Structure 1
Amino acid sequence: MLWTVIILFSLLCLIPCWVTLCRTPAMTNAQQSALRVYQSQLKELNNDLEHGFILKSEYDQAQLEIQRRLLKTDQIPPSFATSTTSLPKASIIVTSLGLFCIPLAAMGLYLMNGLPSLPAAPLTPRLAEQEEMSQKVAPYITQLKAKLTTLSMTDPKRIEGYLLLGKIEASRGNLPAAVQAWKEALNQQFDPSLAAQIAEIQTQIDGNVSTDSVTLFRKALDAAPKDVPWRELAEQRIAEYEKAKH
C-alpha cells in the first residue's frame, strides 16, 4: 500500500512537466502584437515628458511617428504566428522517459541504502514494553537503594552505586530520581562534568534555569579545565539566568 501511494504521488508531481511538454503552442496575432508594442512606446513617451527627460517639441515629433506606425498596423494582414516552438516528438518521448526515471531512481536509492523490510515500530507497543521493563527493574532498584544506605560517606562504592542508580533511573525516564541519585554522588565527591550534567537535566525538568542550576554551573566552570566541551553550554545557561533575572 505504501509503495502504491509513493508511486502515485511521484507521478502526480510529474504531471505539470508532461502537460508543458505536450501542450499545443499558443497562436499570436501579428496586428495585436504590433499594437501592444506601440501602446507601450506611447506610455513610455508620456512618462519621459512628465519627468522632463524630453522637450515638448521632441514629444510631439515622437508621438506623431508612433501614431503613423499605428495607422500602418491596419495594413498588416491578419496572420498568426506561434509564440513558442514545439518540440519534436522524439524529444518529447526522451524527456518523458527521463522524467519517469526520476521516481524510479529515487526508489532504487532507497532500496539500496534504506531498510524497506524493517517493520514499523508503533508508539503504543514501545511504551508498553518500556513499562514492563520498568516494572521488572523496580525490585532491583529498591535493593540497590537499600544497599547504598548502609555504605558510609567515605566508601568509594557509594559513589559508584549512586552513579549507577542515576543511570538506571534516567534510562527509565525518571529524571527527577536520576538527579537526586547523582546529587548524592556529587555531595560525596565533587565532579565538574557531573555537576554540569545535573544542572542541565534540572533545567530541562524545570523548563527554566533555576538558582540551584546556576550555582552548579558556576561551580563546575570554576573547577573544570578551559577546554571542556560543555563550557559554552554552561555559560549560555548562566547568561539566560541573568537575562531572565533582569
Structure 2
Amino acid sequence: MTTWIPLAALAVAALLPLAFALFRPRAARGRREADMALYRAQLDELDREKEAGRLDEAGHRAARIEVQRRLIAAADLAETGTTSGPASALLVALLPLIAAAGLGLYLLRGSPGMPSATFEERAAAAAREDGLLATVRQRLAALDPRSEQARQGYLLLGNAERGRGNAEAAIAAWRIAIEARFDAGLAGDIAELEIARGAPAEATPWISRALQAAPNDPRLRFLAGLVEAESGRPANARALWQALLAESPPDAPWRGLVERRLGALP
C-alpha cells in the first residue's frame, strides 16, 4: 500500500503546474501561440545540447529541421481562445479526479515492479517491428501502385519509417505514394528528409514541384530558402526569406523563426 502513496503524490505534483497556469493573472495563450512557444523552446534546447557536446552536427540539423517543420505547420492552426472564469474553476475541480483516474488505471493495469526492458528484449521488439514492416511491404507490392489503397499504405509505411529514424526508407515509400497522386505537402515532407540527411540537392526538385502547386505555402517557401542555405548559397536564402517576410502578416507565427534563420546567415 505504501507504494501507491508516493505515486499519488507524484500525480498531484504533476498536475500542480496546470492549476497554477489556470489561476495566473496573465491571460492564457491560444493553442497556436502555445505551440509557437513550445517549438521555440525546443529549438533553444537543441542549440544548448549542441554547444554542450551532447548532440553532433548531423543530429542537431535533423532535429532543428523537424521542429521547424512543426513550427511552420502550426501556423495553419486556428486560434482556440482562452480559458478563464467558470471554465478555469471547472478544470481545477477536475484535477483531483484526473489524478485519481490515472492512479486507478495504474492500479488496475500497471506493473510497478516490472523491470526495464533488457537490450535483448529491445532487440527482439525491433526485430518483430522489422518483420511487420516487411509483411506490409509484401502486401503493398501485390497492389497496383497507382491505386488509392496502395497510396495510403505507402503513406503509412513512410510515416512509420520516419518515426523509426529511417529517412531513406521513408523517402522510398513516399516516392511511390506521390507517383500515384502528387501532393505538395508530401513533396515538402520528402524535401525535409533530404535536407535532414544532408542532401539539399535531392530536395530541390521536390520543393520546385511543390511550389508550382502551392506557390504561397509558407512552409515550402521556408524550405526553399533552407535548401539554398544548406547548399552554401546564403544570398539566395536571404532573398527568399526576406520575400517571405515581406509577404507575411505582421502576426504570422513563422516570422520569428525566419528572422532567426536570416540572422544566422553569413
TM-score normalised by the chain length of structure 2? 0.41
Structure with max Cα Rg:
1
Q: For CA contacts below 8 A with separation 6 or more, give which structure has more relative contact order.
A: 2
TM-score normalised by the chain length of structure 1? 0.44
